[in-house]
Amino acid sequence: MKLIPRVRFLAVLVLLIGTAVFLEARSRPEQLPPRKPLEEFPHVLDAWVGRDLAIAEDVKQVLGADDYLVRLYQRNPEEQPMDLFIVFFKSQRTGATIHSPQNCLPGAGWAPVEQGRLTIELPDRAPITVNRYIIAKGLDRQFVLYWYQAHGRVVASEYWAKFFLVSDAIRFNRTDGALVRVISPVGRGESVSQSEQRAVEFARRIYPELREFIPE
């Protein structure tokens, strides 16, 4: 193993072990600010109208989340729907933690084609940087945006999310947090850039609503 990869591996290993040991050691009950349940997330967002999808019981057990939302939003029958997925954890002290979509999506048969970061400009707010992910299954393509959100902070990096998890546990005695994922299928005769534009527009629309459901 080369020196730089070894250092990175050891740094990540130490961080993860430190996270587990520290969170296990902290036993004081966490005091969370009030929040709305995700089932109350608006079904109508401008022209987008949503319908809820069910989650199988075995999937719920794997997620281990305290609250979740799986909903399809569509503006008109001719346009591809937006798949909104949110999971929220009240605490991540006992081993129940957020799963990265990069691990879950391949398990569902989707192969990564391209990945990177994307900055989304927001009205009257600071821009957010999120993960940009293109996946494929056969001839089908999907454009994915996802990010980790907690305590008023949006993070794209899984490792920085772990760092802030420990930091906020120390400073605020809070380990609550959420994953927000938006999937925009690439329709027949549609370019990836068109799907991306739709996903970004949708993410920009839902972001202000999240404050009531993911406490700051």
pLDDT tens-place string over residues 176-203: 999 999 999 999 889 999 999 999 999 9
| Rama region for 95: left / alpha / beta (φ>0; ψ in -120 to 50; rest) | left
Amino acid 3: pLDDT: 52
Amino acid 1: pLDDT: 46
Which amino acid is residue 44, in one-letter code?
A: V
Rounded Cα gap, residues 130 and 156, in angstroms: 5
Tell whether the torsion through CA atoms of 203, 209, 212 and 216 is positive or negative.
positive
E-assigned strand segments in 64-195 = 67-74, 82-89, 111-122, 125-137, 140-150, 153-155, 177-186
The list of the chain residues with pLDDT below 70 reads 1-28, 95, 106-107
What does the domain layout of the chain look like in residue ranges? 3-212
Residue whose C-alpha is closest to residue 54's, from 68, 40, 38: 68
Amino acid 128: pLDDT: 96
pTM listed for this prediction: 0.84
Residue with the two structure tokens 């989707």: 110
Amino acid 21: pLDDT: 52
The helix-helix angle for 3-25 and 158-172 (nearest 10°) equals: 30
Give me 114's structure tokens.
């391209």
